[in-house]
Amino acid sequence: MKYNILVKRKGIAMQIIIVGCGTVGRALMAQLSIEDNNITVVDVNADMIKNVANLYDVMGIVGNGTSYHVLADANIEHADILIAVTHSDEVNLLCCVVAKKAANCHTIARIRNPVYSEEREFIRRELGLSMTINPEYAAAQEIARLLKFPSAIDIDSFSKGRIELLRFKVPKNSMLIGKALKNLPRQIQLDILVCAVERNNKVFIPDGDFWIQTGDILSIIAVPENANLFFRKIGIRINQVKNALIFGGSEITYYLTVILLSMGVQVKIIEQNRNRCEELSELLPKATIICGDGNEQNLLNEEHLEQMDAMVASTDMDEKNIILSLYAQGKVKSKIITQINHLDFNDVIHNLNLDSLIYPKNITAEYILQYVRAMKNSIGSNVERLYKLMDGRVEALEFIINPLSGLIGIKLQDMKLKSNLLIAGIGRKGKFIIPGGQDEFQSGDSIIVVTTNSGFQDIYDILKK
Amino acid sequence: MNYEMIRYIVAWVLKIEGAMLSLPCIIGLIYQEKEGNSYWIWMVVCLVIGFLGSVKKPKNTEIYQKDGFVSVAISWCLMSLFGAIPFIMTREIPLAIDALFEIVSGLTTTGASILSNVEVLSHTNLFWRSFSHWIGGMGVLVFILMLLPVKNGSQINLMRAESPGPSVTKFVPRIRNTAILLYKIYMVITIVQIILLRLTGMQWFDSMCISFGTAGTGGFGILNNSCANYTPIQQWLITIFMILYGINFSFYYLILCNKKKTAFKMEEVRAYFLIIVVAIGIITWNIGSMYLSFSEAFRHASFQVGSIITTTGFSTTDFNLWPEFSKYILVLLMFIGACAGSTGGGIKVSRILILMKTIGKELQTIVHPRSIKKIRMDGHSIEDDMIYSIIMFFITYIVIFAISVLIISLNDFSLETNFTAVAATINNIGPGMDCVGPMSNYAAYGGVSKAVLIFDMLVGRLEIFPILILFCPFTWKKKG
């Protein structure tokens, strides 16, 4: 944890080495450098390094990350964590092993080859890695989660899964429209809390007088059983999908199919390449594999798109995915998922009103970020856990109240809280409370705070200064 | 172009300059000089303008290379204009062009003066003159990078535009921390020098002014004959510190990180010391007969070599009277200059090294037309576009040099005077030869020539392109 004598370790800046500056590497750099970490980037490609050094406040080193000398140049002996995200699994693994031997720092490797993936646990343990991540598998898991709960756009869980944060779009003719938030829990007689609203691309932390409109995207916080009840009460179907059509036979498709089949979902895969089709049919005997081009409208009709509960557009070409999803709108019954691999024009894509979007690179980055943040928090601040929601525009933080905290015993309505901030939940002795004005903090509570501000270090930061 | 951000940065520069002006104010108070009052007024003006300009933080904080260059160039020009005002207000340098020449000479760490009698200046003005060396040595924008509340990787473009040398090296991942480190090293060496000079019996005021002059490799003395009146021990001290400031600051960082081996293996530093040792040797031998003892000749040779190669410009003796051979060596040293990443000026040792290696490579390709050879420095190969940019730098440098000499020739001094006057200003040294020698000054030049020399000093300090870009019409086109 020491750094050199000249730069005092202010707060919780971590020394991070990122090997490989592909898409995931860059997503990590962008986020981690904003979060005040000292980042050194290693890549063999000098142009890449130059590019990156101009974009982010990081130090670039040209060289092979598996070489001890290069890592020494990157100041490995003072690094807290090394993240290897080059395109090669073997390079990533070797990087981590070298770093571990050289500095005993935390190491994270991206490993995507299915052969290794099955041995992830063994590799992780025996080679001393802190974490391995398979981007395709992670993306597949995320997609599967969405298909399980088709009404939600996004689902995050807190407090070890005791609480869920669900993001969904208010449909037309919903009973919610025109209701004020303060009346909502009484009317539906359920303990749920709306903690963020997106309207016209802006995020609000609403207060009680907020009125729900058509097209709002609400984020609600609730215990999982209540979430189900809530959706039933407001008339949104919550059943998991029964069948799914997947375009493209990528690795994600493979993992997704495995998960979906185990959930009892019927899967149909459309893939262009005949060889890949045969491979898939060997690997996935229970799935229906169709060799054909998703671009042909005929084929879609032939395969009865309109009878499908869900469609996942997961080909390598983002443009094709988007077109397919647009075509499927109104035809597919409950869920359309569009995979975006490379495209950068977020605003344009959002305006197309596609149902759910999946960015595999962001998912990988997000997983790694969560690990880094958790590690960082255990070093410095009192934040137990930190989630970035809605492209980082909202943060949800979890604090633990220690027995000496000055906030114990003060009613929430008497606290002068910052604006754009909401105390979304109190976890107490395994139970979860949606707090009201009369509630108080108690020692050992875990508090969930949702806010559009950032940089909170301590529970006291929620108060107005 | 991101005008908002440029406005913001320039306002910050004025804020810092206002803060810096408080020091001469304090000196004015200590010495009970009425000149201090002008400084107080001007400090408030600078601070007010600076604060007004930086109240509104720009939304887009991205600084592209062009924005970086332009904001650095504008900052330096404005800083010079604002810094010159106190000289005029106190009436000690009443002419605007003279005051501007003096402050640009100070900020660019040149040390060329238009004053024929420095000793009559008030302490306040003397202090501001010398302190401007210290400010300009490491650079104001590097200072601002420590404070600027912007988190953005593109700030590196500011540092790139201001720091001397073919490329910028970050010591640590964050620009802010790199800037803090640079200034910490800079301050520590300065304070050590002030204390050491004080211990040898120099007054606090003198030792401070001389230390600021050494730190920025500037060269404004506070006596008419520069450093000739100081004791040999003091002269030796100044020599050593001058040479220390001419070393690439990465060297100190490596030493502090306990990587002495890598530090002493830096090719640039090695070449720098080699040049110094050889030059001192030759000059000592050449001038030996002029002085009473060997030690005196050796001392004068070392001092002048250290002073010229680091582009400081102090002097202990009138090297105008030296044999032509020694004089010519000094002129050569003027062009070589200090290491990249130091506070010194000139072409920089690393550029010269790479140019020499390029010549070697060129010869080899003539002998073996199909050979492929990468030029290496410190074990890393150097990319072709870096070599290209160094050659471009060199050519542009020569063009500006030639045109400058041409224009100032109108004043009808000897070619030696004109040539070394431009060499001494574009390389940020100060004294040249003949009529602009160490015991004379630039007062005799006319207004136009002074303007040209001011331009040369800025061009030399910011390494040409940031200043040139200000004069390019397409920089200012909206649709560019």
Smallest Cβ–Cβ distance between B174 and the set A53, A55, A57 belongs to: A57
Half-sphere exposure of B328 (CA within 13 A, CB side): 5
pLDDT tens-place string over residues B349-361: 999 999 999 999 9
Most confident of the following: A181-195, A330-344, B389-403: B389-403
Name the closest residue on chain B to residue A59, using Cα atoms.
Answer: B173
Interface membership of B94 toward A (CB under 8 Å):
no
Q: Do B383 and A46 touch (CB under 8 A)?
A: yes
Of all residues in chain B, the one with the smallest CA distance to A46 is B383
Q: CB distance A40–B174 less than 8 Å?
A: no
For residue A229, name the pLDDT band (cuts at 50, 70, 90): confident
A380-462 — its CATH code?
Answer: 3.30.70.1450
Q: How far does B172 lie from chain A, in Å, by closest CA?
A: 7
- Over B196-219, what HEC string results? HHHHCCCCHHHHHHHHHHHHCCCC
Distance from CA of A5 to the nearest CA of B (A): 8
CATH superfamily name and code, A15-133: NAD(P)-binding Rossmann-like Domain (3.40.50.720)
pLDDT tens digit sequence for B420-460: 999 999 999 988 888 888 888 898 898 999 999 999 999 99
pLDDT attached to residue A7? 37
Cβ-based contacts of B253 with chain A (< 8 Å): 6
Q: What is chain B's percent helix, strand, coil content, to nearest 5?
A: 70, 0, 30
Helix extents (H) in B221-315? 232-245, 249-256, 260-264, 267-287, 294-309
Give the pLDDT of residue B169. Answer: 78
Chain A interface includes B257 (CB < 8 A): yes
Q: Which residues of chain A does B66 touch, with a Cβ-Cβ cutoff of 8 Å?
A: none
The answer to whether residue B255 neighbours chain A at the CB level (below 8 Å) is: no
Whether residue B181 and residue A46 make contact (CB cut-off 8 A), yes or no, is no
For residue B383, which residues of chain A lie inside 8 Å, CB to CB?
A: 46
Q: Which of B69, B146, B170, B255 to mutate to test the interface with A (most CBs of A within 10 A)?
A: B170
CA B121 and chain centroid, separation: 23
Question: What is the spatial order of strands in the sheet that A356-358 belongs to?
Answer: A288-291, A266-271, A243-247, A310-313, A335-339, A356-358
- pLDDT tier, B3 (very low <50, low <70, confident <90, very high otherwise): confident
Q: Which DSSP helix (H) or strand (E) runs through A39?
A: strand A38-43
A440, two tokens: 């108080």
Which of 34-63 (A) contact B at CB < 8 A? Answer: 34, 36, 38-40, 46, 53-59, 62
**For chain A, what percent of residues have pLDDT higher than 90?**
10
Q: What is the tens place of the pLDDT at every residue in A48-60?
A: 888 888 888 888 8
The pLDDT score that the predictor gives to residue B78 is 93
pLDDT for A465: 67
Of residues A190 and B101, more confidently modeled = B101
For chain A, give the percent of residues with pLDDT over 70: 93
Predicted pLDDT at A391: 67
Confidence of residue A170 (pLDDT cuts 50, 70, 90): confident
B260-312: pLDDT as tens digits: 888 898 999 999 999 999 999 999 999 988 998 999 999 999 999 999 999 99
pLDDT of res. B125: 92
What pLDDT shows up at residue A378? 64
Please tell me the predicted confidence (pLDDT) of residue B251.
92
Per-residue pLDDT tens for A414-435? 888 888 888 888 888 777 777 8
The answer, for A246 touching chain B at a CB cutoff of 8 Å, is no
Tell me which of A288-292, A372-376, B44-48, B319-323 is least confident: A372-376
Please judge whether B155 and A55 are an interchain contact, meaning their C-beta atoms are less than 8 angstroms apart: no
Q: How confident is the model at residue B363 (pLDDT cuts 50, 70, 90)?
A: very high
- Residue boundaries of the structural domains of chain B: 377-475
B167 close contact with A: CB closer than 8 A:
no
Task: Enter the ipTM.
Answer: 0.76
Measured in angstroms, the CA of B1 and the nearest CA of chain A are apart by: 17
CB contact under 8 A, B154 and A55: yes
Say how many C-beta atoms besides its own lie within 10 A of residue B192's C-beta: 13
Q: pLDDT value at position A120?
A: 80
pLDDT reading at A436 higher than 80: no
The fraction of chain B above a pLDDT of 90, given in percent, is 59
Is residue B110 within 8 angstroms of chain A, CB to CB?
no
pLDDT of residue B360: 92
Total Cβ atoms within 10 A of residue B49: 18
- The CATH class of A243-362 is alpha beta
Task: Please tell me if residue A72 touches chain B, with a CB cutoff of 8 Å.
Answer: no
Question: Residues of CATH 3.30.70.1450 domain(s) within chain A?
Answer: 380-462
pLDDT given for residue B129 in this prediction: 92
User: For A261-275, what is the mean pLDDT?
Assistant: 89
Is A54 in contact with B181 (Cβ distance < 8 A)?
no
Cβ contact B248:B340 at 8 Å:
yes
Compute the distance between CA of residue A384 and CA of residue A378 in angstroms, rounded to an integer: 7
Question: Could A57 and B173 be called an inter-chain contact, meaning their C-beta atoms sit closer than 8 Å?
Answer: yes
Q: Which residues of A touch B378 (CB under 8 A)?
A: none
CB contact A1 to B (< 8 Å): no
**pLDDT: is A11 or B170 the higher one?**
B170
**Highest-pLDDT range among A69-73, A238-242, A444-448, B103-107:** B103-107
